[in-house]
């Protein structure tokens, strides 16, 4: 499925092991809804390598530097933007490094899987079905899996004739109704080693996973009712669109291979890959991400779905009413799918009616806060007029 190093005291108090034994990683060893992970990134790893595979290995990455820091929040997916596109997901992830992006996952006894990504681009919501497997359970040395996936990533209407718009002379190119981007992906994964891995976070018994994913992204155009690979004429037209809407640079077919090495542990103080490296076929490591601290429970996840709260009608046209049996309500906020605050209302009683007559049709969210600013309840509602 990305400033300083921790103190020596931290290193000696978390995850120090004096002996090696192969471990098994199961569902309970991996983060779930409610966890918040700090992940540091070393963007100039220098001579660091992924090391060797095999049994009883020692991987020492204690000298990693922290160039960037990301916060990954794993949440109940229900209240998050775009969750209706992934009804079977049981985890929604937000990453401070990815603005207006929500990744949806499923974790069960069989494994941890990515269902897709929902993203707001230039104010427009887009759903990407990036289907892939992160890890299967139980995992131990020799566990492997693979698979292929293909499908549409997104499409949008175009409605142009790229060789008949002034100052271009009229030409033989047909009218381009739409464009779409498709992906073909092949993934292989193998747990190729076990041992102890050390980072600035500590030393942990680990399994090393090697993941290789090959993708082919193709841009298509719909001309005269037939999908065909985008033509050079259309590519040239898009590249010459003036600002603020252009230029739009399109490559008809893009081939890419990503290689990752991940170290997983069954230590309960981690519950996330201790370290992950992106590397090239020649062994060059481009980036290293490492877990900086033990996962914590995010404030917004402490009580996001509680009993005793109801909203009606849903869908609604002009107003919504929210009733709650909670005794320490303070305020209620309404937000749109981009997370933009629509209204902030005092809510000190057990029932409130809010006007939504000025809202456009779509999905919206609400958060109920207590007097300390902690979220007591979050959920969504639909406006349909």
Using CA atoms, how far apart are residues 34 and 74, in angstroms rounded to an integer?
6
Among 97, 77, 89, which Cα is nearest to 289's? Answer: 97
Phi then psi for residue 238, to 5 deg, are -65, -35
| CA 251 to each of CA 106, 221, 234, 245: distance values in angstroms, whole numbers, following the listed order | 32, 12, 11, 18
CATH 2.60.40.3080 spans which residues of the chain?
Answer: 303-383
From first to last of its 385 residues, the chain has per-residue pLDDT tens of 332 222 222 333 333 333 468 999 999 899 988 888 999 999 999 999 999 999 999 999 999 999 999 999 998 888 888 888 998 999 999 998 887 899 999 999 999 999 999 998 767 788 998 889 999 999 999 999 999 999 998 888 998 888 776 665 667 888 899 999 999 999 999 999 999 999 999 999 999 999 999 999 999 999 989 999 999 999 998 998 888 888 999 999 999 999 999 999 999 889 999 999 999 999 999 999 999 988 875 433 433 444 578 888 888 899 999 988 777 777 888 887 666 778 888 887 788 999 999 998 877 888 887 776 667 777 778 888 8
Residue pLDDT, tens place only, 62-97: 999 999 999 999 988 888 888 889 989 999 999 988
Using CA atoms, how far apart are residues 365 and 343, in angstroms rounded to an integer?
11
What pLDDT sits at residue 379? 78
Using CA atoms, how far apart are residues 309 and 323, in angstroms rounded to an integer?
6
Using CA atoms, how far apart are residues 270 and 16, in angstroms rounded to an integer?
12
Among 35, 55, 224, 222, which Cα is nearest to 112's? Answer: 35
Q: Across-strand partners of 103? A: 93, 117
CATH 2.40.360 spans which residues of the chain?
Answer: 23-153+181-295
Contact 45, 305 (CB under 8 A): no
Contact 76, 97 (CB under 8 A): no
Cα dihedral 160→164→168→169 (10° resolution): 170
What pLDDT sits at residue 97? 81
Using CA atoms, how far apart are residues 130 and 184, in angstroms rounded to an integer?
10
| CA 194 to each of CA 36, 125, 197: distance values in angstroms, whole numbers, following the listed order | 26, 42, 9
What pLDDT sits at residue 105? 96
Phi then psi for residue 142, to 5 deg, are 100, -15
Contact 83, 380 (CB under 8 A): yes
Q: Which contacts of 227-236 are long-range, i.e. CB under 8 A and separated by 24 or more positions? A: 227/180, 229/253, 230/179, 231/162, 231/173, 233/162, 233/163, 233/171, 233/173, 234/162, 234/173, 234/176, 236/162
Q: Which fold has domain 23-153+181-295?
A: YmcC-like fold (2.40.360)
Q: Across-strand partners of 335? A: 341, 365
With respect to CATH, is domain 303-383 assigned 2.60.40.3080? yes
Residue pLDDT, tens place only, 305-359: 445 788 888 888 999 999 887 777 778 888 876 667 788 888 877 889 999 999 9
Using CA atoms, how far apart are residues 357 and 385, in angstroms rounded to an integer?
9
| CA 157 to each of CA 229, 241, 244: distance values in angstroms, whole numbers, following the listed order | 16, 16, 18
Structure tokens at 258: 């990503």
């Amino acid at each position: 499925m990305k400033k300083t190093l921790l103190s020596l005291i931290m290193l000696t108090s978390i995850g120090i092991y004096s002996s090696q034994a192969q471990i098994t990683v199961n569902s309970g060893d991996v983060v779930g809804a409610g966890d918040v992970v700090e992940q540091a990134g070393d963007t100039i790893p220098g001579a660091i390598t992924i090391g060797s595979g095999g049994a009883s290995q020692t991987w020492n990455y204690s000298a990693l530097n922290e160039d960037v820091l990301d916060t990954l929040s794993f949440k109940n997916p229900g209240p998050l933007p775009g969750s209706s596109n992934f009804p079977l997901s049981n985890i929604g992830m937000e990453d401070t490094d990815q603005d207006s992006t929500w990744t949806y996952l499923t974790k069960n006894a069989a494994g941890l899987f990515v269902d897709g990504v929902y993203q707001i681009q230039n104010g427009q919501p887009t759903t990407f079905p990036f289907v892939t497997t992160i890890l299967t359970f139980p995992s131990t040395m020799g566990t492997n899996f693979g698979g292929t996936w293909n499908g549409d990533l997104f499409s949008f209407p175009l409605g142009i004739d790229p060789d008949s718009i002034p100052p271009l002379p009229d030409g033989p190119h047909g009218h381009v109704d739409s464009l779409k981007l498709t992906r073909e992906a092949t993934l292989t994964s193998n747990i190729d080693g076990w041992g102890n891995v050390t980072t600035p976070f500590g030393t942990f018994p680990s399994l090393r996973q090697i993941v290789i994913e090959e993708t082919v992204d193709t841009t298509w155009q719909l001309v005269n009712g037939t999908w065909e690979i985008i033509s050079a004429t259309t590519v040239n037209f898009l590249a010459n669109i003036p600002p603020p809407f252009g230029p739009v640079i399109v490559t008809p077919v893009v081939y890419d291979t990503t290689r990752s090495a991940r170290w997983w542990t069954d230590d309960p103080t981690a519950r996330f890959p201790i370290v992950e490296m992106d590397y090239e076929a020649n062994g060059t490591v481009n980036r290293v991400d490492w877990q900086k601290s033990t996962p914590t429970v995010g404030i917004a996840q402490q009580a996001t779905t509680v009993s005793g709260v109801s909203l009606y009608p849903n869908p609604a046209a002009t107003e919504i009413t929210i009733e709650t049996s909670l005794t320490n309500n303070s305020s209620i906020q309404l937000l749109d799918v981009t997370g933009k605050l629509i209204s902030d209302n005092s809510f000190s009683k057990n029932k409130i009616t809010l006007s939504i007559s000025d809202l456009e049709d779509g999905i919206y969210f609400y958060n109920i806060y207590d007097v300390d600013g902690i979220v007591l309840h979050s959920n969504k509602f639909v406006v349909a007029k």
